[in-house]
């Protein structure tokens, strides 16, 4: 599932492709991608509007228009694809042989931006205002923003009884962290994911904040080299497994001590950690 670094890399690559372009037409090829909004809403709001910029909030991609905005959420397996023109879209989108799966397509003045999710969990919505989206309005501090300060983070931790891993994945607290990078941050901070958030001492909270910032920065650097290639429908982020220290490494030796990485379940998701050095 794309988390903050992947989405940020997508937005940085997307912005120069779409900035200033007018949306000539909107094609909804799989209506499930826009539900529960009415099928016509996306086209009515976005058609003939000009994209001011591509932006991000948490795990959302935002297309900020000269009036209103469009939100794209990848959920588990969504991605963006790019076509040179409408003819290429017609020839390749959802074709039986050598086709590219496309749920929604924005036909621009130069090129076509497609949203693809074969599993149909991802969503594309249109809004008159940022505040109209309950998902956006409920997001907490973005983990890459200047507002994500150590002191404020410490206050948030002190007010919660939730296990650390669950706390970090709560998008109403810190927006952008998911299963992978929350676990990685806790390993770097040497903290047990089962500990209560309020149990952290000030120094431990500071250490966790530093770990989050560091882990996300390193992952973003990896996601940008190479940058996303929307023209290749099979493209995906490469090399991230090289920077992971615990995620997906059940039964393997800890890269810091003599312990063994273990997997437990928290909130229906797998958590990987080292019992020996994460306290």
pLDDT at 1: 80
Query: What is the rounded radius of gyration, in angstroms, for the C-alpha atoms of the chain?
Result: 20
- Is 16 catalytic? The answer is no
Q: Which entry of 2, 5, 163, 193 is annotated as an active-site residue?
A: 2
Which pTM value belongs to this model? Answer: 0.95
Q: Which entry of 3, 6, 8, 204 is annotated as an active-site residue?
A: 3
- Is 253 catalytic? The answer is no
Name residue, tokens 């694809």.
Answer: 81
CB 272 within 8 A of CB 247: yes
- Is 269 catalytic? The answer is yes
Q: Which entry of 49, 56, 59, 173 is annotated as an active-site residue?
A: 59
- Is 279 catalytic? The answer is no
Query: What's the average pLDDT block by block, 10 residues per block, for the chain (279 residues)?
Result: 96 98 98 96 97 98 98 96 97 88 98 96 97 96 96 97 98 97 98 98 98 98 96 91 96 96 96 97
Q: What's phi and psi for 221, nearest 5 deg?
A: -60, -40
Q: Which entry of 41, 64, 195, 269 is annotated as an active-site residue?
A: 269
Sorted by where each starts, the structural domains of the chain and their CATH numbers stand as: 4-137 (3.20.190.10), 141-274 (1.10.8.50)
pLDDT at 155: 97
């Amino acid at each position: 599932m794309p988390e903050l670094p992947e989405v940020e890399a997508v937005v940085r690559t997307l912005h120069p492709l779409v900035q200033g372009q007018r949306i000539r037409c909107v094609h909804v090829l799989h209506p499930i991608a826009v539900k529960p909004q009415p099928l016509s809403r996306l086209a009515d709001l976005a058609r003939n509007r000009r994209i001011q910029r591509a932006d991000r909030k948490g795990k959302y991609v935002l297309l900020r228009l000269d009036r209103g905005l469009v939100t794209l959420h990848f959920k588990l397996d969504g991605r963006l694809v790019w076509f040179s023109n409408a003819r290429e879209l017609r020839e390749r989108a959802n074709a039986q042989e050598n086709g590219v799966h496309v749920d929604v397509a924005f036909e621009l003045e130069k090129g076509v931006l497609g949203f693809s999710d074969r599993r149909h969990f991802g969503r594309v919505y249109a809004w008159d205002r940022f505040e109209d989206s309950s998902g956006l309005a409920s997001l907490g501090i973005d983990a890459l923003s200047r507002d994500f300060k150590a002191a404020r983070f410490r206050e948030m931790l002190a007010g919660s009884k939730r296990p650390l891993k669950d706390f970090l994945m709560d998008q109403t607290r810190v927006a952008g962290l998911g299963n992978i990078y929350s676990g990685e941050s806790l390993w770097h901070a040497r903290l047990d994911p089962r500990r209560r958030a309020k149990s952290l001492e000030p120094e431990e909270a500071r250490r966790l904040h530093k770990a989050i910032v560091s882990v996300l920065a390193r992952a973003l650097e990896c996601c940008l080299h190479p940058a996303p290639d929307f023209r290749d429908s099979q493209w995906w982020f490469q090399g991230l497994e090289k920077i992971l220290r615990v995620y997906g490494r059940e039964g393997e030796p800890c890269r810091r001590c003599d312990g063994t990485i273990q997997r437990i379940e928290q909130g229906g998701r797998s958590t990987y950690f080292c019992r020996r050095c994460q306290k």
